[in-house]
């Protein structure tokens, strides 16, 4: 049985890391463990459980910033923000359903986990990812030293932006003990314009057009017919065809105006429908959380692939021709969710070959621990970049005590 | 301001270095003539000047790589330079360093509307990016006030802001990819036309690294379709506190304007005398609130903003009815620096960011400091994001006034940190705020940042003497005192 260290505060986190360095005993850093399936299995003898470093410590809605312990549950953060009619605009996906959790439960995971995995959602195309809203933090480095970077204000260029390095580092550089994020008002109204039918190429072209318009598109997805049929939203499941969706948010009159303009634009391409508040929210949650690949598809392996949007359809053709499975698109074609029946190598070679020409990265988001141990979960980096990344790791955690192997074998 | 002692051995090798550079960069790309070097002796922080050893202006990535590899091998330092408009002395030359100017990297390489991005060389100006795409209705969102002259590479080095970043983000939120060269000549590509490349976010840490980590040779930025329309409203208040409260009330109503700027009375008067924008002269604080988007949204929101302002005690309100009028509203604010410059032989521009609810306190204490130092100050404020620009007026020809102005500025920045803010919101640390870093960061904070520097530039040859007050050798920074088995098992809950 793995021993679990459960510090109550930042001082105890420091003690634990100092001890780990002294004993050369790596730590698996986690709180609720909802993202344990994301990344490679960690090679560590002990767990550093941060779940007691929880709670919102500073939140003044007028300042648009929120400070919290890293283990503050997302559900708690979302509740506090909703009470002030605000939100995390980067719309972090909830990995819970993908890893077998309920598809209609409150958000799982913690704010620290969201940042450590640099999560985002369909609004990424307009508002950025966790990295873009992460303003500052306090942490204990793998050297066993307390340090901080950034601040609690929205605009800050004082010193290197280490927040960017922490976002997406999966706990391999330092243990965060406090985080500050930017928050923003919730849009007054949300609607989605649906275009029925059309192949992937035409759909991606329509999405790129919409994103390149002045309509401030806040979501641009395409579900091929087989994926659309799995939707819990009646209009989408019942389309009997592929569904291309564009989300519009903002003040009421503006949303109506922009939806009308988009509808006009799409009419030439096929039948058009509109999703209003509840259905629109449900649809984008499905897209965000990869719900089409849950339930009876829970056994499939799932890749999350980021490419230039216009390359999306070609990449999907190569993937499905070579490996079977099916895919849908977010980010105007730039984010591909791809599910395939289980293979020993998760199709890694073919997946990476499919994006070699256009550039991009493929992350194996769901597979058994054995597969994630054997396959490069994150996109391998070219030699010089890999070497620089290893030097960055050494700069924070030279003894390799924090989440070893989580991102790259041996690091 | 103490800069590192120049390495005399390098200065003695000047002729040899010039010769080596001329084999890499032919023609007029190597500048060694003292009269011509004068043009490079400072950046936008003109209080500090130093002639560089030489200036080299390469034209290709291969040349940059060869220059850096040579310098790496021969212990020559490098000061990267974009357009030289930076306000914190980040491009201040060193007597024993080559100033590496990227001005000849001035081409737009690829405009890709379907993927909403443009690939440009780093010497293209900020406005040049917009100019390249505006005929098709697109633009590049970050708009620092120097945008006509500043380069996109410099914007990345400084993580530049502007008046629209509350809604559209800073440079860091609008850059997708880079090609860069490390000090040893290694060429790297970070990111590209896709989003959030995996691995550590080196693109993110390069942005705002002030030329300390690498030399940028190519940039991929996000471009956006221009908003359908924009309108601005001028709102006058009897106190800056009311002005600040009005900003909070607008945001609390769920409105994120394209820009919210605030000026205090001295700034209002200075700009009004300079550009005659029609600003009210009898108010203590003036807000410019700009809404952009579809016409119907802008008309809807500007009315709401007007109502909110009335409730917050606005004593003056005027909405722009035409595009010309909107431009006039902005003309004062956009010319605030030169306008203040007319009131005084010299001025220092500070750049702290504060929590917005501390504005009234900071302005009051700034006024007290102004009394104490006997120097006038005018304040302009990016009110949406809390970024304050106090402009301190002084006369450098009066003995001791520069020192006094710098002390005054230092006190303002310390005050910003004291109320929970930061030293610099968008101008960078450079040499100007270098020695104040300890006000905000502990020694361990600074050492951890410098270890990142060591991962990129272990020999400290890129832009030394900037940003960090103390230079530690990388070997010393990397050293760890590990007492194996000597640390007791931590007394913390375990299971």
The residue written with tokens 């609810």 in the block is B357
User: Thinking of the domain A189-288, which architecture would CATH place it in?
Assistant: 2-Layer Sandwich (3.30)
Tell me whether A71 touches chain B (CB under 8 Å). no
Contacts of B119 in chain A (CB under 8 A): none
- Is the domain of B310 the same as that of B376? no
- Is the domain of B133 the same as that of B78? no
Residue of B201, B224, B436 to mutate, interface with A, max A Cβ within 10 Å: B201
Alpha carbons B85 and B46: distance in angstroms, whole number: 10
Residue of B61, B87, B115 to mutate, interface with A, max A Cβ within 10 Å: B115
At residue A184, the 3 state secondary structure works out as: strand
Question: In this structure, what CATH number is given to the domain that contains residue B214?
Answer: 3.30.465.10
Tell me whether A392 touches chain B (CB under 8 Å). yes
Residue B489 pLDDT greater than 80, yes or no? yes
Tell me the DSSP string of B409-423.
Answer: HHHHHHHHHHTT-BS
Q: Do A153 and B422 touch (CB under 8 A)?
A: yes
Interface of B with A in 331-370 (CB under 8 A): 353-357
* Nearest-Cα residue of chain A relative to residue B172: A132
Contacts of B260 in chain A (CB under 8 A): none
* Nearest-Cα residue of chain A relative to residue B161: A155
- Is the domain of B220 the same as that of B243? no
Q: How far is B13 from chain A (nearest CA, A)?
A: 31
Element (H, E) at B56: strand B54-56
Question: In this structure, what CATH number is given to the domain that contains residue B356?
Answer: 3.30.70.2740
Q: Mind listing the pLDDT tens digit for each residue in B379-391?
A: 999 999 999 999 9
The ipTM estimated for the assembled molecules is 0.97
Q: Is B444 within a domain?
A: no
Region A210-228 average pLDDT: 97
Q: Is B442 within a domain?
A: no
Tell me the DSSP string of A294-353.
Answer: SGGGTTSEEEEEE--GGGHHHHHHHHHHHH--EEEEEGGGTEEEEEE---TTTTHHHHHH
Question: In this structure, what CATH number is given to the domain that contains residue B69?
Answer: 3.30.43.10
Residue of A154, A310, A381 to mutate, interface with B, max B Cβ within 10 Å: A154
Q: What is the mean pLDDT of chain A?
A: 96
Considering CB atoms only, which of B137, B297, B429 is closest to A159? B429
Element (H, E) at B155: helix B152-158
Residue B492 pLDDT greater than 90, yes or no? no
- Picking from B322-331, B334-343, B387-396, which range would have the lowest pLDDT averaged per residue? B334-343
Q: Do A359 and B192 touch (CB under 8 A)?
A: yes
Domain ranges of chain A: 1-186+380-411, 189-288, 291-374
A 10 A CB-CB count for A204 gives: 26
Nearest CA-CA partner of B417 in B442, B399, B450: B442
Tell me whether B478 touches chain A (CB under 8 Å). yes
Q: Do B487 and A334 touch (CB under 8 A)?
A: no
- Is the domain of B38 the same as that of B69? yes
* Nearest-Cα residue of chain A relative to residue B301: A251
* Nearest-Cα residue of chain A relative to residue B209: A160
Tell me whether B481 touches chain A (CB under 8 Å). no
- Is the domain of B113 the same as that of B220? yes
* Nearest-Cα residue of chain A relative to residue B493: A6
Q: Do A165 and B490 touch (CB under 8 A)?
A: no
Q: Is B37 within a domain?
A: yes
CATH of A291-374, one of 3.30.70.20, 3.30.70.100, 3.10.110.10, 3.40.1440.10: 3.30.70.100
Q: Do A7 and B493 touch (CB under 8 A)?
A: yes
Residue A382 pLDDT greater than 80, yes or no? yes
Q: Is B364 within a domain?
A: yes
Interface of B with A in 30-69 (CB under 8 A): none
Alpha carbons B376 and B345: distance in angstroms, whole number: 12
Tell me the DSSP string of B232-268.
Answer: EEEEEESSHHHHHHHHHHHHHTT---SEEEEEEHHHH
Among B206, B225, B244, residue at a domain's last position:
B225
At residue B231, the 3 state secondary structure works out as: strand
Alpha carbons A82 and A67: distance in angstroms, whole number: 16
Q: Do A157 and B427 touch (CB under 8 A)?
A: yes
Q: Is B157 within a domain?
A: yes
Residue pair B312/B369 in contact by the 8 Å Cβ criterion? no
* pLDDT band per the 50, 70, 90 thresholds, residue B484: confident
Considering CB atoms only, which of A152, A334, A398 is closest to B195? A334
- Is the domain of B203 the same as that of B247? no
First to last CA, chain B: 54
Residue pair A248/A215 in contact by the 8 Å Cβ criterion? yes
Q: What is the mean pLDDT of chain B?
A: 95
How many domains are there within chain B? 4
Tell me whether B297 touches chain A (CB under 8 Å). yes
Q: Mind listing the pLDDT tens digit for each residue in B344-382?
A: 999 999 999 999 999 989 999 999 999 999 999 999 999
Q: How far is CA B283 from CA A300, B135, B234, B239, in A?
A: 66, 40, 11, 8
Tell me whether A159 touches chain B (CB under 8 Å). yes
Q: Do A159 and B446 touch (CB under 8 A)?
A: yes
Q: Mind listing the pLDDT tens digit for each residue in A355-376?
A: 999 999 999 999 999 999 999 9
* Nearest-Cα residue of chain A relative to residue B449: A160
Beta-bridged to residue B286, according to DSSP, are B236, B263
Residue pair A26/A402 in contact by the 8 Å Cβ criterion? yes
Region A151-164 average pLDDT: 96
pLDDT at A41: 95
Instruction: Select the more confidently predicted residue: A232 or B492.
Output: A232
pLDDT at B337: 87
* pLDDT band per the 50, 70, 90 thresholds, residue A1: low
* Helix ranges (DSSP H) in B13-59: 14-24, 34-37
Residue A215 pLDDT greater than 90, yes or no? yes
Region A368-388 average pLDDT: 96
Residue A233 pLDDT greater than 70, yes or no? yes
- Matching CATH topology for A189-288 and A291-374? yes
> Domain range spanning residue B317?
229-337
- Is the domain of B89 the same as that of B117? no
Considering CB atoms only, which of B452, B478, B488 is closest to A398? B478
Among B74, B101, B128, residue at a domain's last position:
B101
Q: Which CATH class is domain A1-186+380-411?
A: alpha beta
Percent with pLDDT over 90 in chain A: 96
pLDDT at A103: 83
Q: Mind listing the pLDDT tens digit for each residue in B82-111?
A: 999 999 999 999 999 999 999 999 999 999
Residue B397 pLDDT greater than 80, yes or no? yes
pLDDT at B334: 87
Q: Do B115 and A160 touch (CB under 8 A)?
A: no
Q: Do B194 and A359 touch (CB under 8 A)?
A: yes
Element (H, E) at A374: helix A369-374
Tell me whether B192 touches chain A (CB under 8 Å). yes
Considering CB atoms only, which of A64, A211, A389 is closest to B200? A389
Q: Do A254 and B300 touch (CB under 8 A)?
A: yes
Q: Do A129 and B196 touch (CB under 8 A)?
A: yes
Alpha carbons B103 and B285: distance in angstroms, whole number: 40
Residue A38 pLDDT greater than 90, yes or no? yes
Q: Is B488 within a domain?
A: no
Among B54, B84, B101, residue at a domain's last position:
B101
Region A195-199 average pLDDT: 96
């Amino acid at each position: 049985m793995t021993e679990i260290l459960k510090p109550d505060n930042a001082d105890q986190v420091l003690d634990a890391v100092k001890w780990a360095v002294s004993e050369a005993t790596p730590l698996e850093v986690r709180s609720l463990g909802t993202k344990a399936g994301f990344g490679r299995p960690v090679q560590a003898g002990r767990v550093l459980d941060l779940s007691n470093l929880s709670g919102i410590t500073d939140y003044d809605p007028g300042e648009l910033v929120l400070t919290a312990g890293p283990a503050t549950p997302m559900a708690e953060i979302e509740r506090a923000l909703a009470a002030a009619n605000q939100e995390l605009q980067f719309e972090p996906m909830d990995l819970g359903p993908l890893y077998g959790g309920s598809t209609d439960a409150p958000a799982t995971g913690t704010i620290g986990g969201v940042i450590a995995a640099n999560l985002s959602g369909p609004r990424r195309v307009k508002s950025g990812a966790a990295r873009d809203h992460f303003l500052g933090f306090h942490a204990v480095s793998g050297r066993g030293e307390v340090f901080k970077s950034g601040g609690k204000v929205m605009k800050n260029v004082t010193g290197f932006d280490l927040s960017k390095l922490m976002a997406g580092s999966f706990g391999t550089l330092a243990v965060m003990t406090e985080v500050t994020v930017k928050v923003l008002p919730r849009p007054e109204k949300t609607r989605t314009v649906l275009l029925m039918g059309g192949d992937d190429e035409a759909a991606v072209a329509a999405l790129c057009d919409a994103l390149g318009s002045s309509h401030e598109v806040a979501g641009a997805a395409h579900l091929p017919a087989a994926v659309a049929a799995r939707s819990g939203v009646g209009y989408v499941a019942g389309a009997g065809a592929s569904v291309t969706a564009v989300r519009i948010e903002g003040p009421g009159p503006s949303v109506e105006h922009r939806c009308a303009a988009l509808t006009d634009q799409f009419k030439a391409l096929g039948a058009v429908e509109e999703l209003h508040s509840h259905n629109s929210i449900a649809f984008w949650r499905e897209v965000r959380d990869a719900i089409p690949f849950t339930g009876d598809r829970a056994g499939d392996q799932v890749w999350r692939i980021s490419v230039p949007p216009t390359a999306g359809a070609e990449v999907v053709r190569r993937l499905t021709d070579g490996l079977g499975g099916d895919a849908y698109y977010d980010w105007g074609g730039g984010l591909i969710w791809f599910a395939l029946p289980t293979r020993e190598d998760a199709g890694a070679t073919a997946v990476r070959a499919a994006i070699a020409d256009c550039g991009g990265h493929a992350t194996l988001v769901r597979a058994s621990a054995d597969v994630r141990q054997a396959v490069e979960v994150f996109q391998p980096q070219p030699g010089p970049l890999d070497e620089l990344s290893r030097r960055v790791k050494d700069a924070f955690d030279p003894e390799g005590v924090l989440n070893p192997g989580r991102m790259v074998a041996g690091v | 301001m103490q800069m590192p002692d120049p390495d005399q051995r390098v200065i003695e090798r000047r002729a040899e270095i010039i010769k080596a550079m001329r084999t890499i960069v032919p023609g007029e790309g190597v500048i060694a003539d003292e009269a011509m070097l004068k043009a490079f002796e400072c950046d936008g922080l003109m209080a500090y000047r130093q002639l560089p050893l030489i200036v080299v202006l390469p034209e290709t990535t291969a040349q940059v790589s060869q220059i850096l590899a040579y310098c790496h091998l021969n212990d020559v330092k490098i000061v990267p330079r974009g357009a030289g408009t930076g306000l914190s002395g980040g491009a201040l030359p060193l007597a024993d360093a080559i100033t590496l100017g990227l001005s000849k990297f001035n081409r737009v390489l690829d405009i890709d509307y379907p993927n909403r991005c443009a690939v440009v060389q780093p010497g293209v100006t900020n406005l040049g990016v917009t100019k390249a795409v505006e005929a098709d209705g697109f633009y590049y969102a970050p708009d620092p006030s120097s945008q006509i002259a500043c380069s996109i590479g410099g914007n990345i080095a400084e993580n530049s802001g502007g008046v629209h970043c509350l809604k559209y983000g800073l440079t860091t939120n609008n850059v997708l990819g880079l090609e860069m060269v490390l000090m040893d000549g290694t060429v790297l590509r970070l990111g590209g036309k896709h989003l959030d490349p995996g691995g550590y976010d080196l693109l993110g840490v390069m942005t705002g690294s002030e030329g300390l980590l690498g030399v940028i040779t190519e940039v991929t930025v996000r471009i956006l379709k221009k908003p359908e329309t924009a309108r601005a409203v001028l709102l006058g208040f009897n106190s800056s506190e009311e002005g600040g409260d009005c900003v909070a009330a607008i945001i609390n109503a769920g409105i994120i304007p394209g820009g919210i700027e605030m000026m205090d009375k001295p700034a209002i008067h200075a700009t009004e005398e300079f550009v005659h924008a029609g600003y009210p002269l009898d108010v203590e604080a003036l807000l410019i609130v700009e809404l952009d988007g579809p016409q119907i949204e802008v008309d809807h929101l500007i009315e709401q903003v007007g109502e909110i302002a009335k409730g917050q005690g606005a004593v003056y309100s005027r909405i722009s009815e035409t595009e010309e009028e909107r431009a006039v509203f902005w003309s004062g604010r956009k010319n605030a620096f030169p306008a203040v410059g007319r009131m005084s032989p010299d001025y220092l521009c500070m750049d702290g960011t504060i929590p917005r609810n501390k504005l009234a306190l900071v302005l009051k204490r700034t006024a007290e400091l102004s009394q104490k130092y006997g120097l006038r100050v005018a304040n302009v404020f990016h009110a949406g994001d809390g970024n304050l620009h106090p402009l301190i007026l002084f006369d450098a020809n009066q003995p001791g006034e520069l020192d006094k102005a710098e002390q005054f500025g230092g006190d303002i920045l310390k005050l910003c940190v004291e109320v929970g803010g930061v030293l610099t919101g968008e101008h960078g640390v450079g040499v100007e705020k270098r020695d104040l870093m300890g006000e905000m960061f502990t020694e361990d904070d600074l050492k951890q940042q410098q270890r990142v520097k060591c991962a990129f530039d272990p020999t400290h040859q890129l832009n030394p003497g900037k940003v960090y007050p103390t230079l530690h050798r990388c070997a010393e920074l990397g050293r760890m005192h590990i007492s194996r088995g000597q640390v007791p098992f931590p007394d913390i809950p375990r299971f």
